[in-house]
């Protein structure tokens, strides 16, 4: 996974390639401490932010499949995870993202691998903020999105259990407009 803390980038494996993992770890910790101090210099706030970021990161990296009503697995090494932590408007904001682009195969819940078109992808992002609040910290989910498009080698969208695997949540603006036109004003407000 690649990390970005404030304006500093920490690409996966860069410290090891440079031959000084300890220096990379210290630089990462210093950047994290500095970014948190812009919101609150208290060590307790730093511990809360790092604990939450660590838990989210480990849970995110530990998930082997993209999930939804079904689970879709992709080949090892196909998924790229990135984490960005920065200070913004009195809070520390963490963005986690995971994407698999240009896939050539995937597995449905049955575990059997299937070939797919290179335009297939899976994407997830979530943003949350951590800020100081009287007596503790406040954690707020700012945004969460997922998009999935699995296409057979012949260009047809994969359909699994009656669901076309070409979805995004929340729906993109063009799709939301199309849904509003199809179902009318009654469901338009619910779609966004």
pLDDT value of position 37: 92
Please choose, from the candidates 48, 54, 51, the residue with its C-alpha nearest in 3D space to the C-alpha of residue 135.
48
Residue indicated by tokens 């335009």? 119
Q: Give residue 172's pLDDT.
A: 62
pLDDT at 178: 45
Coil, strand, or helix at residue 31?
A: helix
Q: According to the model, what pLDDT value does residue 61 have?
A: 58
Work out the number of other CB atoms within 10 angstroms of the CB of residue 35: 21
What is the reported pLDDT for 187? 41
How does strand 105-107 pair with strand 136-149? unpaired
- For residue 42, which phi and psi values (nearest 5 degrees)? -65, 135
User: What is the model's pLDDT at position 180?
Assistant: 43
For 77, the domain range is 2-191
Digitized pLDDT (tens) for each residue of the chain, 192 residues in all: 889 999 999 998 899 999 999 999 999 999 999 999 998 888 888 888 988 888 877 766 555 445 444 466 777 777 888 889 999 988 999 998 888 898 888 887 777 888 999 999 988 888 989 999 888 889 998 988 888 899 999 999 999 888 888 988 887 655 444 444 444 444 444 444
Contact by Cβ (8 Å): 115, 74: no
Closest Cα partner for 102 from 134, 144, 74, 141? 74
Say how many domains are in the chain.
1
Model-level pTM? 0.72
């Amino acid at each position: 996974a690649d990390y970005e803390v404030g304006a500093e980038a920490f690409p996966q494996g860069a410290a090891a390639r440079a031959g000084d993992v300890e220096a990379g770890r210290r630089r990462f910790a210093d950047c994290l401490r500095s970014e948190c101090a812009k919101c609150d210099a208290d060590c307790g706030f730093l511990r809360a932010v790092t604990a939450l970021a660590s838990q989210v990161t480990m849970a995110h990296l530990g998930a082997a499949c993209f999930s939804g009503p079904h689970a879709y697995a992709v080949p090892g090494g196909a998924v790229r995870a990135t984490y960005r932590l920065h200070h913004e408007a009195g809070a520390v904001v963490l963005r986690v993202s995971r994407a698999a682009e240009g896939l050539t195969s995937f597995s449905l819940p049955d575990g059997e691998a299937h070939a797919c078109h290179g335009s297939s992808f899976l994407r997830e992002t979530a943003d949350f903020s951590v800020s100081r609040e009287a007596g503790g910290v406040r954690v707020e989910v700012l945004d969460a999105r997922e998009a999935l498009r699995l296409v057979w080698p012949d260009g047809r969208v994969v359909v699994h259990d009656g669901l076309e695997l070409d979805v995004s949540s929340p729906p993109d603006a063009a799709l939301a407009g199309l849904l509003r036109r199809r179902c009318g004003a009654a469901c338009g407000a619910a779609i966004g």
